[in-house]
Amino acid sequence: MKIAALQLSTLPMSSSKLDYYLRICKAKDVKLLLLNEYALNSFFKELEVTPNLMIQEQSKHKTSALKELSAKYDIYIIAPIVHVKGKYIYKSTAKFTPKSVVYYNQQFLINYKHWNEEKFFDNEIGEFNLPSFSIGGVKFGIINGFELHFDTVFSQVMKKKVDVLLCPSVSTFDSSERWIELLKMRAFTNSVYILRANRTGVYKDQNREWKFYGHSNLISPWGDEELTLGSHEEILIVEIFKDELHAARKSWSWKSALSKRGIL
């Protein structure tokens, strides 16, 4: 099965750019396209000073466009989006299919002094539940970049028999090497593919320049970095092989070791 990751900055209100990339996906028989965080909306620091009605209008317009494009090209689109419901604002990931839209609220939000999404958004804090779904016999799970740091997320990856983790992210500063090592470790110790889509572009505030460096990639269930993009707007098209998943799981048997101890 072919899937793809698109890395870019915030998309314009026009859907022509996304239409262009989806035409490429259709020609390559891609079944799913993953977008990075803050591709449909402005970056978080900009949202902090944006009126709620403007955020709502931006999200509503992008949602309508992605619904149409998913149906037009018969493709799943996984895209982080700010979901506004009344006076509440949620950081979510939307799953667009030719027939429906489902929203999954992010469950671990970054909460540091210089970047506090947990304080800004109204996402509930509770027990983690990994969003998952299947396409053509391949089981997908969705985790946002910050959630990659937490072990509890990965206990559910094995329980739910996930084959491919979709990881939209918004990594910045000088963190690229650290992220690569974390992704490789998580893929290897859970025998899963991880497809990551990371934002590009620059945001400047009074104190610093936030460079979003891209480097979207596919990590194999063996923990190998198979393909990686550069630092500019690009699309990554990859192929997922069930045989590779079976071989990695048979070779290392992580799940068996946990199951016999009653952990799974």
pLDDT digits (tens, 9 = 90+) for 80-111: 999 999 999 999 999 999 999 999 999 999 99
* Contact between residue 237 and residue 28 where contact means Cβ atoms under 8 Å apart: yes
pLDDT greater than 90 at residue 68: yes
Q: What is the DSSP letter of 11?
A: P
* Contact between residue 131 and residue 101 where contact means Cβ atoms under 8 Å apart: no
Q: Where are the beta strands (DSSP E) in 97-175?
A: 101-105, 111-112, 115-116, 132-135, 138-142, 164-169
| Mean residue pLDDT across the chain | 96
What's the distance, Cα to Cα, between the start and end of the chain in Å? 28
Residue 211's pLDDT is: 95
Residue 208's pLDDT is: 86
pLDDT greater than 90 at residue 20: yes
User: What residue segments make up the domains of the chain, in order of their start?
Assistant: 2-259
| Cα 106 off chain centre by | 10
Residue 250 structure tokens: 């048979």
Residue 146 structure tokens: 């910050």
Residue 207's pLDDT is: 82
Burial label, 254 (beta-carbon count in 10 A; 0-12, 13-18, 19+): middle
pLDDT greater than 90 at residue 263: no
Whole-structure pTM value: 0.97
Residue 89's pLDDT is: 98
Residue 131's pLDDT is: 98
Residue 255's pLDDT is: 86
pLDDT per residue over 176-223, tens digit each?
A: 999 999 999 999 999 999 999 999 999 998 888 999 999 999 999 999
Helix (H) or strand (E) holding 177: helix 176-190
| 258 pLDDT tier (thresholds 50, 70, 90) | confident
Residue 69 structure tokens: 């494009």
Residue 122's pLDDT is: 98
Mean pLDDT computed over 129-137: 97
pLDDT greater than 90 at residue 134: yes
pLDDT greater than 90 at residue 262: no
Fold of the domain built from segment(s) 2-259? Nitrilase/N-carbamoyl-D-aminoacid amidohydrolase (3.60.110)
pLDDT per residue over 137-155, tens digit each?
A: 999 999 999 999 999 999 8
